[in-house]
Amino acid sequence: GNSVTQMEGPVTLSEEAFLTINCTYTATGYPSLFWYVQYPGEGLQLLLKATKADDKGSNKGFEATYRKETTSFHLEKGSVQVSDSAVYFCALRIGGWGAQKLVFGQGTRLTINP
């Protein structure tokens, strides 16, 4: 079946530390991959995406590369800020045109201390 596995949280880092949140997936076909972020009290927001193998998604200093050979889409940021504290969800999108669905990982809570 289709599933997404994220590293378990919570993750606590100091400001300016390097961040990696691991994400691996299993899927039939060729999914698109996403990272969503949820700030306290808000809905999920799309952070970045990649639609095919070797694509790199990037936004707000975050990056993730679609690795088909390792079925991974790890999220990285070189220097985190307190404002990056949030819950991060890795997801894949499957299905044909008009019938697409998102499958989410369990989320990783990130706390950045000043």
Partner 1 sequence: GAVVSQHPSWVICKSGTSVKIECRSLDFQATTMFWYRQFPKQSLMLMATSNEGSKATYEQGVEKDKFLINHASLTLSTLTVTSAHPEDSSFYICSARVGWDTEAFFGQGTRLTVV
Residues lying near partner 1 in the complex (CB under 8 A) are found at 4, 36, 41-46, 89, 97-98, 100-107
CB nearer partner 1, residue 4 or residue 50: 4
The minimum distance between CB 114 and partner 1, in angstroms, equals 26
CB nearer partner 1, residue 78 or residue 95: 95
CB nearer partner 1, residue 44 or residue 64: 44
The minimum distance between CB 44 and partner 1, in angstroms, equals 4
Strands 86-94 and 44-50: unpaired
The minimum distance between CB 15 and partner 1, in angstroms, equals 26
